[in-house]
Amino acid sequence: MRLFLLFCLLATYVFALDSVSYFKESKEHKLLCHVGQHSFKMISHENAVIENIHGHVFFKLIDENLYFLSNACQPLSKKEGIVF
């Protein structure tokens, strides 16, 4: 059981860092971040930067004092559609 929990924690850690590596790869990459219960915000290199605060990775909007935890954002490729 302990090994299963450790494996799940490792998998969660890897998926949480996926958005950060995707964001760093290219200036054209965009992320869709969860703001509230039913609201999302699109971030890119034009309006956000990556900051490390106490060992946690956040995306900070440049114009606003708004921080998104890295696991609240997911990569968005141009081929995917958004359905609400």
User: What is the residue extent of each domain of the chain?
Assistant: 2-76
3-state secondary structure of 74: strand
Spell out the residues 6+ positions from residue 33 whose beta carbon is closer than 8 angstroms to its own.
40, 41, 42, 43, 59, 68, 72, 73, 74
In the chain, what percentage of residues exceed pLDDT 90? 13
Q: What is the mean pLDDT of residues 63-74?
A: 87
Question: Full-prediction pTM beyond 0.85?
Answer: no
